[in-house]
Amino acid sequence: MWPLAILIITYIYTPSQCTQDVLNERKDLFERELAMMVGNSIKLSDSELKANEIIMKLKHEEIDHGFIYPNHFNVSKHFFEYKDEVMKTKLFQIIQSMPKGAVLHAHDIGLLSPDYVLTLTYWEDLWVCWTEDKSEIQFHFSKTTPTNTCATRWKLMKEARSASGDVKKFDAELRKFFTIVIDNPKEVYTDINAVWHRFQEYFNSCGNLFSYKPIYEQYYYDTLVEFRKDQVMYLEIRSTLPPLYDLDGNIYDSVETAKTYKRVTEKFMRDYPDSFGAKLIYAPMKLVDKATLQEYIRIALHLQNIMPDFLVGFDLVGQEDLGVPLREFINELAEVKEHLDFYLHAGETNWYGTTSDENLFDAIVLGTKRIGHGFALIKHPLLMEEVKKRQIALEVNVVSNNVLKLVEDPRNHPLATYLSQDVPVLLSSDNPGVWESTPMSHDFYVTFVGVASRHADLKLIKQLALNSLYYSSYPDKDKLVHEFESRWTKFINEIVKDKW
């Protein structure tokens, strides 16, 4: 017989050891999972560790408050509801001051705010025309009354503004054409087609405003300035290369538009020698026939021949569910994949087993350097492994995916899985001006607070910024990364010095 005291001790000790074994296994699993996360390989310096404490304290305050009071968690709401509110937070302001590397997924005339676009309507020689119900608008620059077809009649913009009797109200109404932001998006944008229709209306309304050559040049130059202010070092801009026009009746084709991009970029780099400038991805619309695609390819090859240091590749754009599937163009694209680098949109859809998500297969076998969006990749485990093996980076646009109805709550964005499994990803912003976002700060903030694990820290956002450099087409990546590290050190030191 064991003494009663020994029996009691054994009874107490044995469960304790079992509990410890369970805790040890839990700790091991937890640490192994964290080790799979994007950024895990980064070792933080002493200064970075101090900065990380400050950043994580702010992050945890926001998340923990939202966990207790879910209705207060901004990032779970529609972007339009919280985009201005979060800019007041210390965490957002820190992220805004952070060097963000490169933006590799951004579209020509969707990048600047509606307030900026409104200023363009004060340029001389601008004519305007509305439909009778004022629901649609057209613009045209001309020395005389335009001959373009107009629903009512053309008016000089400055005369229409003056005759309104209330310039402030006139401009407020005009501004609505330059944004898709509204007060009740969930009621109006009931599905993806509804919001994409409004999104496309923006480009249709503003097309002739932006394609005035002096405006196009100014808009692009000011885009580079705004992205630089948001701590973006380098840009790869996608453009449809629309024909441009001037007051003398001259029309400039896609090749001349590409030359405009190159010329303005060179001017910007002279004015801001600390910038690494920009390069061009020719990205025409995908809802076309094969003959049109072949013309696109001809233009792309010609541009590559005359400006090999500026044109970096080719893409096809538009709403994926309504566009022509890549497999319809597989012959034409396969024929030139050894001559053109592809940066193809694919998987920007919620569907599974359709032509939309299966564009991912075609993009990969065509040798795409990066995948635009890749939202649906989460449903294709084999392709996820291929993307990792082939080091094909996903250009993820979190705010865009929320606004354009792919995901209602960013916490459910597939990027969370990509980050947890160290899939090659980078952040970008798509068309931030159209939904009144910052060039990159909002996307970093929403990812850090609303998508990534509560445990994801400074290493994650540093790695995401570095990934945008590693997967860019910039020829001297060592130089780019060296400059980033210098700016990053300065950023860290400012945090540690209690600027926040």
Q: Which residue has the tokens 């408050």?
A: 65
What domains are defined for the chain? 79-112+194-495 (3.20.20.140), 116-178 (no CATH)
Which residues fall within 8 angstroms of residue 198, CB to CB, at 6 or more apart? 180, 188, 189
Q: Name residue 6's beta-bridge partners.
A: none
pLDDT tens by residue, 92-140: 999 999 999 999 999 999 999 999 999 999 999 999 999 988 899 999 9
pLDDT in tens, the chain (500 residues): 445 454 444 444 556 888 888 999 999 999 999 898 999 999 999 999 999 999 999 999 999 999 999 999 999 999 999 999 999 999 999 999 999 999 999 999 999 999 999 999 999 999 999 998 889 999 999 999 998 888 789 999 999 999 999 999 999 999 999 999 999 999 999 999 999 999 999 999 999 999 999 999 999 999 999 999 999 999 999 999 999 999 999 999 999 999 999 999 999 999 999 999 999 999 999 999 999 999 999 999 999 999 999 999 999 999 999 989 999 999 999 999 999 999 999 999 999 999 999 999 999 999 999 999 999 999 999 999 999 999 999 999 999 999 999 999 999 999 999 999 999 999 999 999 999 999 999 999 999 999 999 999 999 999 999 999 999 999 999 999 999 999 999 999 999 997 55
In whole angstroms, give the CA distance from residue 461 to residue 448: 7
Active-site annotation, residues: 348, 373
d(CA 245, CA 252): 6
With CA atoms as reference, report the closest residue to 283 among 430, 398, 422, 470. Answer: 430
What does pTM read for this prediction? 0.94
Q: Which residues pair with 396 in a beta bridge?
A: 427
Q: Quick one: how far is CA 481 from the chain centroid? A: 21
| Distance of alpha carbon 263 from the chain centroid | 24
pLDDT for 214 equals: 98
